[in-house]
Amino acid sequence: MACIIFCAAEFDTLARPLEPGDYVIAADGGLRHTEKLGIAPNEILGDFDSLGFTPMGASVFPVEKDDTDAMLAVRRGLSLGYREFFLYGSLDGPRLDHTVANFQTLQFLADHGAVGYLVGNRTIVTVVKDGSVAFSAGKSGNLSVFCMGPDARGVTERGLYYGLEDGTLTSGFPLGASNHFTGEPAQITVESGSLLIIWDREAGFPLKR
């Protein structure tokens, strides 16, 4: 079971079918996406500055608040006990600041023992904290790894074109940019710290963490 959040940025298609037990939240303008798909969300929430009107039955928050609408939805999903999150409409919008905010939302999820994915039209993004992520054989496309916050230590990348063993990534140098899958099983591990991992959507999702 996962929490599926629809945000207001551009959206094309689902990257995985909805499954029984998934909890769907439409965050502000994300309601347009659920309507397009014919999905009845379990909850609608936000400040509705993007949607332009307040839907009936929605949970309404003030525009002047600390949380983004995506963060409101994530907090709600965590409060319900969900530990896997898929955020659609979270990458391909006109606001770069909201994209960066969504990167930090992934870190928030990792800090709370959960797994989150931003699912764009061409890209998927996740954060791994003090752990690892693995991909099955047969994957292709680009993959990049960046340090989130303090130095990421004990970084190992295997099964990718550029390998790394027990390395250190910092937030001041993009050493992990522009790697790619080789078709072999791949694994990325960080012993201490957090990694932002970005890859081509065509490669799909990693193995369950």
Query: Domains of the chain (ranges plus CATH)?
Result: 3-121 (3.40.50.10240), 128-202 (3.40.50.10240)
> What is the arithmetic mean of pLDDT over 162-169?
97
pLDDT of residue 127: 98
Q: Which residue has the tokens 């932002």?
A: 196
Q: Model pTM?
A: 0.95
Q: Give 119-128 pLDDT, tens digit per residue.
A: 999 999 999 9
pLDDT at 104 over 90: yes
pLDDT of residue 158: 98
Angle between the N-to-C axes of helices 96-111 and 69-79, in degrees from 0 to 180, rounded to the nearest 10: 20
> What is the arithmetic mean of pLDDT over 95-112?
96
Q: Give 62-98 pLDDT, tens digit per residue.
A: 888 989 999 999 999 999 999 999 999 999 999 999 9
Residue type, 19: E
What is the pLDDT confidence band of residue 29, given thresholds at 50, 70 and 90?
very high
> What is the arithmetic mean of pLDDT over 26-53?
93
What is the pLDDT confidence band of residue 51, given thresholds at 50, 70 and 90?
confident
CA distance 43 to 31: 10
Is 27 within 8 Å of 46 (Cβ atoms)?
yes
What is the pLDDT confidence band of residue 31, given thresholds at 50, 70 and 90?
very high
What is the pLDDT confidence band of residue 209, given thresholds at 50, 70 and 90?
confident
pLDDT at 136 over 90: yes
Q: Give 54-64 pLDDT, tens digit per residue.
A: 999 999 998 88
pLDDT of residue 49: 86
pLDDT at 144 over 90: yes
Q: Over pLDDT 90: what percentage of the chain? A: 89
> E strands within the chain?
3-6, 23-27, 43-46, 59-60, 84-88, 115-119, 123-129, 132-135, 142-158, 164-169, 179-180, 186-189, 192-200
pLDDT of residue 73: 97
Is 28 within 8 Å of 69 (Cβ atoms)?
yes
Phi-psi region of 137 (alpha: psi -120 to 50; beta: other; left: phi over 0): beta
Three-state SS for 53? coil
pLDDT at 36 over 90: yes
